[in-house]
Amino acid sequence: MRSFRLVVPWAVSAVLLAACGGGDPDVPGSGAPAGAPTDKGTFTAIVSFGDSLSDVGTYAPATSLAGNGTPPFFGGKFTTNETSNGVPDANPLGKVWVEDVAADLGILVTPAEVGFGGTSVKCPAAANPAIASTCTGYGQGGSRVTDPNGIGHAGGALTVPVVTQIANHLARFGSFKASDLIFVYAGSNDVFTQFGTFAAAAAQIQAQAANGTISADEANRQLFAAQNTALAGMKQAAQELATDIRTQILANGGKYVAVMTLSDIADTPFGNSLPADARGVLTALSQNFNVWLRDGLAGQPVQIIDTFALFKDAYQNPAKFGFVNNTTPACDVAKIQAITGGQVTDGSSLFCNATPGAPYNGLTAGADVNTWQFADSVHPTTGGHKVIAAAFEAQLQAFGWI
Amino acid sequence: MHSMTLPGVAATALACLAPCALAQSQGANVVKLGITEYTTHAKTNGISGVGIPPGADVDVSNATTVIFVYERLFTPNVGLEFVIGVPPKLKATATGSAAFLGEVLTVKNVSPTLLLNYHFFSPTDALRPYVGAGINYTRFTSVHSSLAPDVQLGYSTGLAIQAGVNYAITKDVGLFASIAKLDVKSKVVATGATVLTTTVDFRPIVYSAGVSYQF
């Protein structure tokens, strides 16, 4: 890719565009939400929709120590896991941000569905009447906004799309309540999907340019067109998400609704592994999603938490957030491959255990789950999630909600 | 050069709704038909938005069109001139880091201009230079872009100044040539898969020449 002029968007303009909250009616995405509550909520549930970043343990059975889907599990969340005996919130470590926020508010949140490879149980907490209504952690690794065929679906992951997650909540609970603190944080897997399609097209275009079949200018035009197709996919996902938030959450009683923009996935070990111009495309995909998400939510009574700005700050100023390493995954690819009998070759943190001394500990030598930001190529460590939770809580306080 | 405000122009015009004996004796109305070269010297503030490489810019083509001019003389030296042209097609071409995109937009500009002119010398002179100042209004139509299905160009209102010369062949028929500078700025918002914005300062200089008829 380096030999061609960059088909690279850059961050500043869209951020500035988004920052002028006044809103220019001629410029989509320049408006802001309006009318969200400004008073403190009395929350009894955290209702969280999303993907792996918000997944509170959907795929734990895939990490059964016995290998038969039963507890104890050595992994199950996309972070640096602690061994879980299957009892929700049984241990204080290895939490994702949803659980961190819930714990700080004194609320329990458990997975809405648990399973892998075609077998799953909805609301496992329902078996225990005392916590039966806590199964409002809908986020699942691999989930996209509307497409049920998420990342890893073919390999057994549920990847229930976010619009179906929301429908499932309505099916079980009937409506949203003023006592629900609702999080919607989705779209990153749409970025990965669109980026994957773009990268495949780009490789072909570049091969043609390299062997002289097409000119450099023609290659750049085709790359631009491929990028535009990917950006259009992100626009569609954002518009579908915004529409679903309006018609399914807000129209069904949702009052305290926080919607996250997407962060810059270029600021991850995965992003760093890419050539500069490909990173630019990755950045643009998140930015474009954010533009159209804002556009779809302009004037709506929600609050937007801009993870793009928050994560950018953390990535560029790691020390300010207590990180000493934001480039190396804390989980060791080879160890995870060995622990999973060779089945997991990408070092996915879903299978990464951080329990000191455990034989199935998958940490890289010297890694620290609190001061290293990333567990694997894209997912945060326990410490990474704590920083996210703290940033989100600061936003919730700024809204006056907590 | 006369510096006259628009209300001043209006006042003069109203004053002369009643027959202006002096002007009429010289022929109070002039119509002109000419060819215009609309040369742009476009500058933008850069293109903002997702998916555009840094350093991308656009350049706007020149255009040739036919203009029609009507001037009403209120005195032998002062007249109010209205200029309208057949809307020419302007082409915007990507430059800088996005040059590979080539032509990205075509648009027609409807650009009426109202000018208050001062004509030197006397009506009996064959060669009469003139200068004028006024207002140009430009709006854009027939927008087509390869980049985005929906492109909005805001209208523009700005100053116009000109200098020219009339040459009388007979008492009624003459030739003219003029050069005008217009202030034409437009905010552009292109909405497709992404949203791109820019402000184009067209900075046009308009060269015109043609025939005139006085009556």
Q: CATH number for the domain including B164?
A: 2.40.160.20
pLDDT digits (tens, 9 = 90+) for A49-88: 999 999 999 999 999 999 999 989 999 999 999 877 766 5
B49/A227 CB distance under 8 A? no
Q: What is the DSSP letter of A321?
A: G
Flag whether pLDDT at A213 surpasses 70. yes
Q: How far is residue A132's CA from residue A242's CA, in Å, rounded to a whole number?
A: 29
Let me know if residue A383 belongs to a domain: yes
Total number of domains in chain B: 1
Looking at residue A94, what is its pLDDT?
87
Which residue, among A392, A238, A388, has the nearest Cα to A303 in the 3D structure? A392
Structure tokens at B79: 């007249």
Chain A interface, best mutation among B155, B189, B195, by max A CB count within 10 A = B195
B152 neighbourhood in chain A, CB within 8 Å: 26
Chain A interface, best mutation among B44, B48, B100, by max A CB count within 10 A = B100
Computed over every residue of chain B, the mean pLDDT equals 89
A9/B97 CB distance under 8 A? no
Which residues constitute the domain of residue A157? Answer: 39-186+254-268+302-399
Under 8 Å between Cβ of A141 and A156: no
Q: Would you place residue A11 in the very low, low, confident or very high pLDDT band (cuts 50, 70, 90)?
A: very low
Q: What is the per-residue burial (b if ≥16 Cβ within 10 Å, else e) of A35-53?
A: ebeeeebebebbbbbbbbb
**Secondary structure (DSSP) of B174-201:** EEEEEEEEE--EEEEEEESSSEEEEEEE
- A278 in helix, strand or coil? helix
Let me know if residue B115 belongs to a domain: yes
B51/A220 CB distance under 8 A? no
Total number of domains in chain A: 1
A9/B191 CB distance under 8 A? no
Q: Which residues numbered 198-217 in A keep a CB inside 8 Å of some CB on B? A: 216-217
Distance from CA of B56 to the nearest CA of A (A): 10
Q: How far is CA B81 from the centre of its chain?
A: 12
Distance from CA of B84 to the nearest CA of A (A): 28
Q: How far is residue A372's CA from residue A391's CA, in Å, rounded to a whole number?
A: 17
Q: Which residues numbered 78-97 in B keep a CB inside 8 Å of some CB on A? A: 97
The whole-number average pLDDT for the span B35-54 is: 93
Q: How far is residue B10's CA from residue B7's CA, in Å, rounded to a whole number?
A: 5
A6/B97 CB distance under 8 A? yes
Let me know if residue B37 belongs to a domain: yes
Which residue, among A359, A367, A270, has the nearest Cα to A315 in the 3D structure? A270
Is the Cβ of B146 closer than 8 Å to some Cβ of chain A? no
The whole-number average pLDDT for the span A357-371 is: 95
B193 vs A5, A8, A232: nearest CB:
A232
Looking at residue A336, what is its pLDDT?
97
Under 8 Å between Cβ of B60 and B91: yes
Let me know if residue B161 belongs to a domain: yes
Residue with tokens 């996902």: A237
pLDDT digits (tens, 9 = 90+) for B74-129: 999 999 999 999 999 999 999 999 999 999 999 999 999 999 999 999 999 999 99
Q: Residue A136: which CATH number?
A: 3.40.50
Is the Cβ of B19 closer than 8 Å to some Cβ of chain A? no
Let me know if residue A26 belongs to a domain: no
Is the Cβ of B7 closer than 8 Å to some Cβ of chain A? no
Flag whether pLDDT at A231 surpasses 80. yes
A17 vs B48, B191, B193: nearest CB:
B48
The whole-number average pLDDT for the span B136-140 is: 97
Let me know if residue B71 belongs to a domain: yes
Is the Cβ of A29 closer than 8 Å to some Cβ of chain B? yes
A288/B51 CB distance under 8 A? yes
A231 vs B54, B154, B193: nearest CB:
B193
A220 neighbourhood in chain B, CB within 8 Å: 100
The whole-number average pLDDT for the span A143-161 is: 97
Residue with tokens 């209205």: B82
φ, ψ of residue A249 to 5 degrees: the values are -95, -60
B189 neighbourhood in chain A, CB within 8 Å: 26-27
Let me know if residue B1 belongs to a domain: no
A17/B54 CB distance under 8 A? no
β-strands A256-260, A180-185 pairing:
parallel
Is the Cβ of B187 closer than 8 Å to some Cβ of chain A? yes
Flag whether pLDDT at A290 surpasses 80. yes
The whole-number average pLDDT for the span A373-399 is: 98
Looking at residue A275, what is its pLDDT?
94
Give the residue on A whose Cα is nearest the Cα of B104. A221
A217/B100 CB distance under 8 A? yes
A187 beta partners: none
Let me know if residue A75 belongs to a domain: yes
Looking at residue A90, what is its pLDDT?
54
Give the residue on B whose Cα is nearest the Cα of A227. B51
- B6 in helix, strand or coil? helix
In terms of Cβ atoms closer than 10 Å to its own Cβ (0-12, 13-18, 19+), residue B178 is buried
Flag whether pLDDT at A140 surpasses 70. yes
B49 neighbourhood in chain A, CB within 8 Å: 9, 13-14, 17
Flag whether pLDDT at A21 surpasses 80. no
A228 neighbourhood in chain B, CB within 8 Å: 51, 192-194
Is the Cβ of A93 closer than 8 Å to some Cβ of chain B? no
Flag whether pLDDT at B10 surpasses 70. no
Is the Cβ of A232 closer than 8 Å to some Cβ of chain B? yes
Number of CB atoms found within 10 A of residue B54's CB: 17
Number of CB atoms found within 10 A of residue A301's CB: 16
Distance from CA of B35 to the nearest CA of A (A): 35
Q: How far is residue A1's CA from residue A275's CA, in Å, rounded to a whole number?
A: 7
Q: Mention every residue, 6+ apart, whose C-beta is less than 8 A from residue A160.
A: A113, A138, A140, A143, A148, A168
Q: In this structure, is the dihedral angle defined by the CA atoms of residues A221, A224, A229 and A232, taken in order, positive or negative?
A: negative
Kindly state the percentage of chain A with pLDDT values over 90.
Answer: 88
